[in-house]
């Protein structure tokens, strides 16, 4: 099974080609802007490296996976537009993967504790977050809350809580010292390699996929001002 993973939903841009449990080609670059110019050239390079014997490597795909959020509004739209365009051009099925589950999947199985909490920056006072079991089944819904509120919610959970993601330290600082939370290894932001692997695992297990529809969780930071003209 060949799966192309795409991500530019947070502060990075990445593309990966997954085949039968292995990453054949991969590109990753940290960037807060410029994803629109970087994503498709990355995808073309990854396709050529993964399938050098094929002039049209994307025709060999079985699935295209893309992050659907939560994340940056512009980045989400760029990634989804690219994935939908490839899907329409090739007829290949499209699958969504949340940014939170992609980061969780990048944590080694033995380092997930009893409660793995992924926390991602919103660039505001709140944090995107979700808690997972060691096997990555969700313990909570994805949310956008203040670090204090997240720490309070986790206090009602269980011991051996592991925090990961680029906002993990904010939750750790908000928690009481007695909580004993620890920062875990793993990616700070989503990586297309884990996006592809997540989508492939779900597809192979159940023959289903998460819809490739954006998950925003909160309103955009920028709104349009409506001017009123006096007669």
CATH of the domain at 173: 3.30.420.40
Reply yes or no on whether the pLDDT at 134 is more than 60. Answer: yes
Question: Are 139 and 129 a contacting pair, CB within 8 Å?
Answer: no
Tell me the C-alpha distance between 70 and 215, whole Å: 5
**Per-residue confidence (pLDDT) for residue 221, from 0 to 100:** 54
The pTM of this model reads 0.92
Peptide bond into 176 cis (omega under 30): no
Same domain, 94 and 128: no
Q: Kindly state whether residue 38 falls inside one of the protein's structural domains.
A: yes
**Per-residue confidence (pLDDT) for residue 179, from 0 to 100:** 87
Task: Give the model's confidence band at 168: pLDDT under 50 very low, under 70 low, under 90 confident, else very high.
Answer: very high
**Per-residue confidence (pLDDT) for residue 186, from 0 to 100:** 86
Reply yes or no on whether the pLDDT at 230 is more than 50. Answer: no
> Which tops the pLDDT comparison, 133 or 218?
133
Nearest to 116 by CA among 69, 70, 67, 168: 168
Tell me the C-alpha distance between 19 and 62, whole Å: 10
Same domain, 96 and 193: yes
**Per-residue confidence (pLDDT) for residue 227, from 0 to 100:** 46
Same domain, 94 and 155: no
How does pLDDT run across 42-95, given as a tens digit for each residue?
A: 999 999 999 999 999 999 999 999 999 999 999 999 999 999 999 999 999 999
Same domain, 56 and 158: no
Reply yes or no on whether the pLDDT at 228 is more than 80. Answer: no
Q: Kindly state whether residue 219 falls inside one of the protein's structural domains.
A: no
Tell me the C-alpha distance between 45 and 192, whole Å: 14
Q: Kindly state whether residue 197 falls inside one of the protein's structural domains.
A: yes
How does pLDDT run across 83-110, given as a tens digit for each residue?
A: 999 999 999 999 999 999 999 999 999 9
Give the contacts of 36 (CB within 8 A, at least 6 positions apart): 78
Q: Between β-strands 12-19 and 22-30, what pairing exists: parallel, antiparallel or unpaired?
A: antiparallel
Same domain, 94 and 199: yes
What percent of the chain is predicted at pLDDT more than 70?
94
For residue 142, which phi and psi values (nearest 5 degrees)? Answer: -65, 140
Tell me the C-alpha distance between 190 and 187, whole Å: 7
Residue range of the domain that includes 130: 108-183
The H or E element spanning position 12 is: strand 12-19
Tell me the C-alpha distance between 24 and 228, whole Å: 56
Q: Kindly state whether residue 158 falls inside one of the protein's structural domains.
A: yes
Nearest to 183 by CA among 130, 136, 116: 116
- CA distances (Å), 14 to each of 50, 53, 101, 142, in order? 15, 23, 16, 23
Provide the mean pLDDT of the chain: 93
**Per-residue confidence (pLDDT) for residue 148, from 0 to 100:** 96
Task: Give the model's confidence band at 231: pLDDT under 50 very low, under 70 low, under 90 confident, else very high.
Answer: very low
Question: Are 34 and 104 a contacting pair, CB within 8 Å?
Answer: no
Same domain, 42 and 76: yes
Count of the separate structural domains present in the chain: 2
């Amino acid at each position: 099974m060949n799966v192309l993973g795409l991500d530019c939903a947070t502060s990075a841009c990445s593309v990966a080609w997954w085949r039968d449990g292995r990453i054949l080609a991969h590109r990753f670059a940290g960037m807060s802007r410029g994803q629109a110019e970087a994503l498709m050239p990355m995808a073309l390079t990854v396709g050529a490296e993964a399938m050098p014997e094929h002039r049209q490597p994307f025709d060999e795909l079985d699935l295209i996976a893309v992050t659907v959020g939560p994340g940056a509004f512009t980045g989400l739209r760029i990634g989804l537009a690219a994935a939908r365009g490839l899907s329409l051009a090739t007829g290949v099925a499209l699958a969504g993967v949340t940014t939170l589950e992609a980061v969780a999947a990048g944590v080694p199985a033995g380092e997930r504790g009893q409660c793995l909490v992924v926390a991602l920056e919103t660039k505001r006072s709140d944090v995107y977050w979700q808690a997972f079991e060691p096997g990555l089944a969700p313990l909570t819904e994805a949310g956008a809350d203040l670090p204090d509120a997240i720490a309070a919610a986790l206090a009602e959970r269980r011991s051996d809580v592991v925090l990961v993601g680029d906002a993990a330290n904010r939750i750790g600082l908000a928690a009481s010292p007695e909580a004993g939370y620890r920062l875990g290894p793993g990616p700070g932001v989503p990586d297309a390699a884990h996006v592809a692997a997540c989508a492939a695992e779900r597809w192979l297990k159940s023959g289903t996929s998460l819809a490739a529809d954006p998950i925003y969780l909160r309103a955009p930071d920028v709104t349009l001002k409506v001017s009123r003209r006096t007669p």
